[in-house]
Structure 1
Amino acid sequence: MTGAHDEDPLVVQTRLRRDRRARWLRDGDMSVGLRLAQIGVLGWIFVVPTLAGLFLGRWLDGHFETGIFWSAPLMLLGLCLGGWTAWKWMNAE
């Protein structure tokens, strides 16, 4: 069945909720270990881009002798990239 109703956000969200509920009824709750693993992955999704931006900024500042001219903005860029990636990862399911 294709048509205008497939595009309706309410229909899409209702199907998504129905599918999630069916999956939950079939599989049950996640284990504590799996939840902790997801929290760990989420932390690394934030930390890695932030530290990569900071290290790249420190290298550029050391190379061009510019103080923290590159460190601060690249760290913030990494933090924003990590936040966006974490948001996409959390909403993927």
Structure 2
Amino acid sequence: MTKKPSEPPTTDPLIKEIRKHRSRREKWLREGDMSVGRRLAQIGVLGWIFVVPTLAGLFFGRWLDALFGTGIFWSAPMMLLGLCIGGWTAWKWMNAR
């Protein structure tokens, strides 16, 4: 059994990306491709990551409109805020994988 030399910590972004790529490749060689079911589950989760904050923003905006009697003044900005939060969350979730 060979012992891997310890790698010194570095702040160079290129070296970090190379190490990340190498670890992903080693994982792929070890585990293989994901199943179709797992890929569909990830797509479903990604959809819910968008939908839930958007609907929550719309619900909160409608509640504020009903509370203040402002028609649809708060609905659109709150829905847009929810969409932005959902997009940011989805982006972070996709890049964490």
Q: Cα deviations across residues 35-82 of structure 1 (Å, max 9, x unaligned)? A: 000000000000000000000100110111101111000000000000
The residue type paired with residue 17 of structure 1 is: H
TM-score by length of 1: 0.94
TM-score by length of 2: 0.90
Match of 2:53 among 49, 52, 55: 49
Q: Relative to total residues, which structure has the larger helix share, 1 or 2? A: 1
Match of 1:66 in 2: 70
Q: Distance in 1 between matches of 2:69 and 2:83?
A: 24
Match of 1:20 in 2: 24
Q: Distance in 2 between matches of 1:33 and 1:55?
A: 32
Match of 2:33 in 1: 29
Offset, 1:2: 3.3
> Could you list the runs of 5+ residues in structure 1 that have no partner in the other structure?
none
Match of 1:87 in 2: 91
Cα-Cα RMSD: 0.9
> Could you list the runs of 5+ residues in structure 2 that have no partner in the other structure?
1-6
Runs of 4+ in 1 over 4 A off after TM superposition: none
Larger Rg over CA atoms? 2
Identity in percent: 75
The residue type paired with residue 58 of structure 2 is: L
Query: How many matched pairs?
Result: 91
